[in-house]
Amino acid sequence: MKVQFTETVLRDANQSLIATRMPYEKFEPILESMNRAGFYSVECWGGATFDVCLRYLAEDPWERLRKIRTKMPDARLQMLLRGQNILGYKHYSDDIVRRFVRASVRNGIDIIRIFDALNDVTNLKTAMEETVACGAEASGAIAYTTSPVHTLEAYVKLAREMAAMGASSICIKDMAGILTPKAAYDLVRAIKDAVDLPVILHTHCTTGLAYMTYLKAAEAGADVIDTAISPFSGGTSQPATETLHYALRELGFETGLDADVLHQMADFFKPIRGEFISDGTLNPISLTTDTQCLTYQIPGGMLSNLLSQLKTLGALDKFEDALLETPRVRADMGYPPLVTPTSQLIGSQAVQNVLSGERYKNVGAELRAYCRGEYGTTPAPIDPEVRKKILGREQPIQGRYADTLPKDTFETAEQALGNRARCEEDVLSYILFPQVAERFFVKREALESKITRYSIERVE
């Protein structure tokens, strides 16, 4: 019996607990040790890391990846990709998706975990194909949620479709921490029976279920679990790596992990957590257990977003109403899993509906686009009455939205940037986050000219 581990401290734990604010220099000294810990993979890139590097840390995300690769030549480096969304918040054309995947692999990625917020496989296809074509591993990720249409059969069908697209593993991605031990056991079993691929389980401690869920998943034959080294585990992050290593090994599972390296990693990250607590980046509330998500079936991040939206609008008294309205909007919209970007769409509409006193009186541009079909096919059909109220006489698009996008986005961006872009990676950063990337390029130039001046002085 064997269960392997994906370590998330550099990506999901970092993102869930401290909004991805850990700069490269902070974790660089531990990378050489981490390289030989024996992880199945190290999740270190993608998700929000890319945006945050450019926006807040004045770091080139591509350079971060290359540096990690150099320090960790043996570990399998993994990233999270939002299918046709890449790492941004809208859909991109196939050409951009392919270029981004190629660049990620070229700069050091071994495994790309690919998901779509609606579990629409037509949004995964291009990224999966290109990953396989580059010789990297494509891990097909199922966004886990509960609804009348999210049956065991529906998930198995999805896993089969991903396998047919060339996935080398299937990941069950429970971003809200609502996957129960029993549901995990049944789901892992069903997928293992249906496809001949490793099954990976990803969950969060938010509701307190995660350790039990992993244990039952391991019993059901899960091949890999996602965990975070203890100082960055718990709460909205993953369960602790060492704890699960300890418990599973005693139960007779081989983990392949080196306990000494785990110990070193924990010692290394403990004071770093302390720093983030002292400066307020790590809010102790993120470390607690919150079972509200189980009652309302709403991810923790969404609950805090609803609260802050209502607070800004001076309507905190409407919180209970907004909580009840959220699942109704989600049902109207065909039960999308609540994950970026659908969680934002559903949450803001629920707030709008409650505040305006009339449902769907005010509708944002994004939800309109969602109803037109720009995000893909919804798990269940959108309520026809609601769609008519939102779209009026406008008709939903036929076919795949990405096929309707301009084909020359890359060339246009390249021209717009001129000599500010030094390589294809720069152009891709710009396409995903235009203003943020441009600001970063200006900062980079200023910084480099200062360094050059400094080194000249020293030579003289």
Closer to Co ion at the Cβ: 156 or 175?
Answer: 175
Stretch that binds Co ion, among 12-20, 191-199, 284-292, 451-459 (CB under 5 A): 12-20
Site mask for Co ion (CB under 5 A), range 151-190, x = bound: ------------------------x---------------
Closer to Co ion at the Cβ: 209 or 427?
Answer: 209
The CA-CA-CA angle for residues 52, 56, 62, to 5°, reads 50
Closer to Co ion at the Cβ: 46 or 379?
Answer: 46
- Using CB atoms, what's the residue nearest to Co ion? 12
Closer to Co ion at the Cβ: 35 or 297?
Answer: 297
The three-state secondary structure class of 197 is coil
For the CB of residue 225, give the shortest distance to Co ion in the complex, in Å.
12
For the CB of residue 198, give the shortest distance to Co ion in the complex, in Å.
18
For the CB of residue 205, give the shortest distance to Co ion in the complex, in Å.
11
**Pairing, β 137-143 against β 77-81:** unpaired
15: CB partners within 8 A, 6+ apart = 47, 48, 49
The answer to whether the CB of 5 falls within 8 A of the CB of 225 is yes
Closer to Co ion at the Cβ: 179 or 272?
Answer: 179
Six-digit token pair at 329? 């909007």
With binding defined as CB under 5 A, does residue 12 bind Co ion? yes
The three-state secondary structure class of 263 is helix
CA–CA distance, 145 with 107 (Å, rounded to integer): 33
Six-digit token pair at 364? 């944002």
CB count in 10 Å sphere of residue 226:
29
For the CB of residue 380, give the shortest distance to Co ion in the complex, in Å.
24
Please work out the total of residues on this chain that contact Co ion, with binding judged by CB under 5 A. 2
For the CB of residue 204, give the shortest distance to Co ion in the complex, in Å.
6
CB count in 10 Å sphere of residue 453:
10
Closer to Co ion at the Cβ: 12 or 51?
Answer: 12
For the CB of residue 375, give the shortest distance to Co ion in the complex, in Å.
20
List the alpha helices (DSSP H) in 24-60.
Answer: 24-27, 31-34, 49-55
Instruction: Give the footprint of Co ion on this chain (CB under 5 A).
Output: 12, 175
